[in-house]
Amino acid sequence: MNWLGLTDLASRRLGGGVVGTNDELFAAADNLVTPEPPGFTPKTFGPKGQVYDGWETRRRRVPGEDWAIVRLGAAGIVRGVVVDTSFFTGNYPPEASVQGCRVDGHPSLDDLLAADWVPLVSRSPLQGDTANPFSVSRDALVTHVRLVIHPDGGVARLRVHGEVVPDPVRFPDGFLDLAAAENGGRVVGCSDLFYGAPGQLIEPGLARTMGEGWETRRRRDAGNDWVLVRLAAPGRISLASLDTTHFKGNAPGAAALTGVDDRKADPADPAAWFPLLPRVDLRPDTRHRFPLRTDPVTHVRLDIYPDGGMARLSLHGHLDDGVLDTLRTAWLPAPGGGRMR
Ligand SMILES: NC(=O)NC(NC(N)=O)C(=O)[O-]
């Protein structure tokens, strides 16, 4: 499995955050979950030393290790972790390990320190100034991860790629945005990502700028651009929102939605796809809402004509029969009040 293409569960864009650390003298652990790639300006000194875009602890003078605990923006099953030491050359940690835990609700740092942590990445060597990838083979639903560096040093980013398992308490009636990344939706294909990543279409909230959407290059042929979303779960869509906010001179002229149910047909077969929203004109800089009434689908394709940019795509609807029960089962409290054994 190419787990690098899975959602970064820790990303600040989904609401991930650093809950605590034992040391961040040189650089704040909060930087670990910054979505943008790390940067570095050499010979830039603040009151504590060279400024780094990452988490950096002081040089340890007693035995031990340093740690930072990250609350995932979306709970799920971790398939791989990247410990990115970009720009840390003479001060990267020689080794790291990662653990996960599940604590439901809104735990304090003390709750988390007392949690039962399970290994996700065993103590492993790191390289400096490198995105160090580690695949994870444990099928555990986790809400938090702990990065431990042995014995000290700096890490620019921690990426925690995995499959979102949405907590059904968030949608008691089974009605949700089936495309949303925080619910488990994922962009699995697109025609063009020249100017902006298509995964941004399904991130939470409104795009603050054109740069936070998906934008294709100007097409000079007869074709059209498209993006393919694997929904969080099978469901019937009743409201599609196609948001061209910020795209004033480069909104698509029109768009259409088609869908497929991969439990009944092969998405690779073009004949399996059926219309959800027939081709409709779009306006620049506008949040369009289209009421729909669809059969259950697992994948949705957005076609834009001929090219252009979109800020957000949301597809609200009801989960198909049985899906809510499956999610409730996944989230049954673990023995010991929700803590994983
Ligand atoms: N030049 C450095 O980066 N020195 C140190 N770190 C910072 N941030 O200044 C260190 O000792 O790791």
Reported as a single tens digit per residue, the pLDDT across 139-180 is 999 999 999 999 999 999 999 999 999 999 999 899 999 999
How far, in Å, is the centroid of ligand 1 from the Cα of 128?
14
Domain annotation covers residue 326: no
Asked whether 66 and 21 are in contact (CB, 8 A), the reply is yes
Q: Point out the domain boundary residue: 110, 133, 164.
A: 164
Cα of 91 to ligand 1 centre, how many Å?
7
The boundaries of the domain holding residue 64 are 3-164
CB of residue 26 inside a 6 A radius of ligand 1:
yes
**214 and 154 in one domain?**
no
Indicate whether 181 and 301 sit together in one domain: yes
Q: Which atom of ligand 1 is nearest to the CA of 45?
A: 9
Q: Tally Cβ neighbours within 10 Å of residue 134.
A: 18
Asked if pLDDT for residue 66 goes beyond 60, the answer is yes
Average pLDDT (269-282) is 97
CA-nearest of 339, 88, 294, 310 to 193 is 310
What number is the ipTM of this complex?
A: 0.95
**Which residue, judged by its Cα, is nearest atom 12 of ligand 1?**
91
Q: What is the model's pLDDT at position 195?
A: 82
Tell me, yes or no, whether 195 and 268 share the same domain.
yes
Mean pLDDT across the stretch 41-63? 98
Decide: 128 in ligand 1 pocket, CB within 6 A: no
pLDDT tens profile 91-116:
999 999 999 999 999 999 999 999 99
Please check whether residues 156 and 297 belong to one and the same domain.
no
Same domain? 8 vs 147: yes
Q: Would you say residue 325 lies in a domain?
A: no
Report the nearest atom of ligand 1 relative to the CA of 154.
Answer: 12
φ and ψ of 326, to 5 deg: -60, -45
Mutate to test the pocket of ligand 1, among 56, 58, 61, 129 (most ligand atoms within 8 A of CB): 56
- The contacts of residue 223 (CB under 8 Å, 6+ apart) are 191, 306
User: Closest ligand 1 atom to the C-alpha of 59?
Assistant: 11
Residue 50 Cβ < 6 Å to ligand 1: yes
102: domain CATH number is: 2.60.120.260
Is 31 in the same domain as 82? yes
Assess whether 179 and 316 both reside in one domain: yes
How much distance in Å is there from the Cα of 15 to the middle of ligand 1? 29
Residue 338 has pLDDT above 70, yes or no: no
Same domain flag for 44 and 126? yes
* Closest CA to ligand 1's atom 8: 50
Query: At which of 104, 136, 164 does a domain end?
Result: 164
Domain count, the chain: 2
Average per-residue pLDDT for the chain: 95
Which ligand 1 atom is the nearest neighbour of the CA of 50? Answer: 9
Other C-beta atoms lying within 10 Å of the C-beta of residue 327:
21
The reply to whether 93 and 242 lie within a common domain is: no
Q: What pLDDT does 335 receive?
A: 56
Among residues 237, 226, 233, 174, the alpha carbon closest in space to that of 201 is found at 226
- Hey, whose CA ends up nearest to atom 1 of ligand 1? 50
CA distances from 162 to 1, 11, 155, 202 (A): 11, 12, 20, 16
Q: Ligand 1: which of 86, 91, 152 to mutate, judged by most atoms within 8 Å of the beta carbon? A: 91
Evaluate: CB of 51 within 6 angstroms of ligand 1.
Answer: no
Question: Is the domain of 23 the same as that of 132?
Answer: yes
281-285: long-range contacts at Cβ-Cβ below 8 A with a sequence spacing of 24 or more? 281/253, 281/254, 282/242, 282/244, 282/251, 282/252, 282/253, 282/254, 282/255, 283/244, 283/251, 284/244, 284/247, 284/248, 284/249, 284/251, 285/244, 285/245, 285/246, 285/247, 285/248, 285/251
Q: pLDDT of 217-261, one tens digit each?
A: 999 999 999 999 999 999 999 999 999 999 999 999 999 999 999
